[in-house]
Structure 1
Amino acid sequence: MTPEQIIRKFFKEVRLGKKPDYSNQLMAEQVIAHQIVSEEEQTVLRTPKDYADHVREMIKAYGNFSLEIQELLADGNKVYVRWKQIGTHVGEIDGYKPTGLPVIQMASAVYRIENEKISEYWIQIDRLGIQKQLVQTL
C-alpha cells in the first residue's frame, strides 16, 4: 500500500471508530506523536493499543461521530490530512458534563509512514474551539 492508501484506511477503519483495534495493522509498535497542547509541543510515544483506547474514549464522549477528510496531500512517505469531526456531546469531555448538543472538532496532522506503517505524526486540534462549544452549553 502507498502512504496515502495507508492513511485513508487508517481514517476509514481506525480513526472513525469502526475498527479501533485495526490500529495494530497500520501503526508501528511505537509511534512518536507530536501534539500541540496550549501552544506547547508535547511528544509522547503511542502504541496501537493506546490509540485504539483513545478512539474508544472519543466514541464515549462524541457518540458515533462523523469524520470528513477535507484535504489530503501525500509527498513521499508523509501524508497531510485536515478533517472535520462532528459528534454529539454524550459523554464527559474535559470535565464538562454531557449536553446532547453537537460538537465540531477541526484538526490536521502530518503522518510519516515507515515500512508501510504509521511511525510518527504531528497533530494540531482546535481545542479552544471545542472548549468554546462546551462552555456555551452551560
Structure 2
Amino acid sequence: MTPEHIVKKFFEEVRSGKNPDYATELMADQVLAHQVISEEEITVVRTPKDYAEHVKEMIDAYGDFSLEIQEFIVQDQKVYVRWKQAGTHVGEVDGYQPTNLPVIEIASAIYRIENEKIVEYWIQIDRAGIENQLKRNTNN
C-alpha cells in the first residue's frame, strides 16, 4: 500500500469514527505523536489501541461527527491532511457540560509512513477555536 492509500484508509476507517479499532492495521506498534499547541510542541507515544480509545472519546463527546478532508498532499513517505470535523456537543469536554450544540474542529497533520504503517505524525488543532465555541455554547 502506498502512503497515500494508508492515510486515506486511516481517515476513512479510524479517524472518522467508523472503525477506530482498525488502527491496529494502519499504525505501527508505537507512533510518535508530535502535538503542536501554540508555540509549544509535546511528543507522546501512541499505540493503535490508545488511538482507537481517543477516537471513541471523541464520539462520546461529539456524537457521530462528520469529517471532511479539505487538503491532501503526498510527498514521498509523508502525507499532509487538513480536515474539518463537525459534531454535536453531547458529552463533557474539558469541564464543559453537553449543550447539544454544534462544535467544529479545524486541524491538520503530517503523517510519516514506514513499512506500510503510520510511524509518526505532527498535528495542529485550533484548540482556541474549540474552546471559544464551548464557552459561547455554554453561555447561550
* Band the TM-score falls in, shorter-chain normalisation: over 0.9
Corresponding residue pairs, total: 138
Rounded to whole Å, the distance in 2 between the matches of 1:42 and 1:83 is 21
| Residue 25 of structure 1: aligned partner | 25
* Residue 36 of structure 1: how far off its partner (Å): 1.7
Q: Could you tell me the TM-score, scaled by structure 1's length? A: 0.98
| Residue 7 of structure 2: aligned partner | 7
| Residue 93 of structure 2: aligned partner | 93
Any idea what SS the aligned residue of 1:94 has?
Answer: coil
Partner AA of 2:130 in structure 1: I
Rounded to whole Å, the distance in 2 between the matches of 1:36 and 1:71 is 19
Q: CA deviation digits over 1:11-65, x for unaligned, max 9?
A: 0000001111100000000000000234310000000000000000000000000
Identical-pair percentage: 71
| Residue 55 of structure 2: aligned partner | 55
32-41 or 2-11, which deviates more: 32-41
Rounded to whole Å, the distance in 2 between the matches of 1:28 and 1:2 is 15
| Residue 37 of structure 1: aligned partner | 37
Rounded to whole Å, the distance in 2 between the matches of 1:108 and 1:114 is 20
Instruction: Please list every run of 5 or more consecutive structure 2 residues that lacks an aligned counterpart in the other structure.
Output: none
31-40 or 20-29, which deviates more: 31-40
* Residue 9 of structure 1: how far off its partner (Å): 0.3
Any idea what SS the aligned residue of 2:5 has?
Answer: helix
Q: Which runs of 4+ in 1 moved over 3 A?
A: none
Partner AA of 2:58 in structure 1: M
RMSD, aligned CA = 0.6
Rounded to whole Å, the distance in 2 between the matches of 1:47 and 1:79 is 19
Rounded to whole Å, the distance in 1 between the matches of 2:36 and 2:10 is 21
Any idea what SS the aligned residue of 2:45 has?
Answer: strand
Partner AA of 1:2 in structure 2: T
Rounded to whole Å, the distance in 2 between the matches of 1:10 and 1:78 is 14
| 2:82 is the alignment partner of 1:82 | yes
Any idea what SS the aligned residue of 2:61 has?
Answer: helix
Partner AA of 1:133 in structure 2: Q
| Residue 126 of structure 1: aligned partner | 126
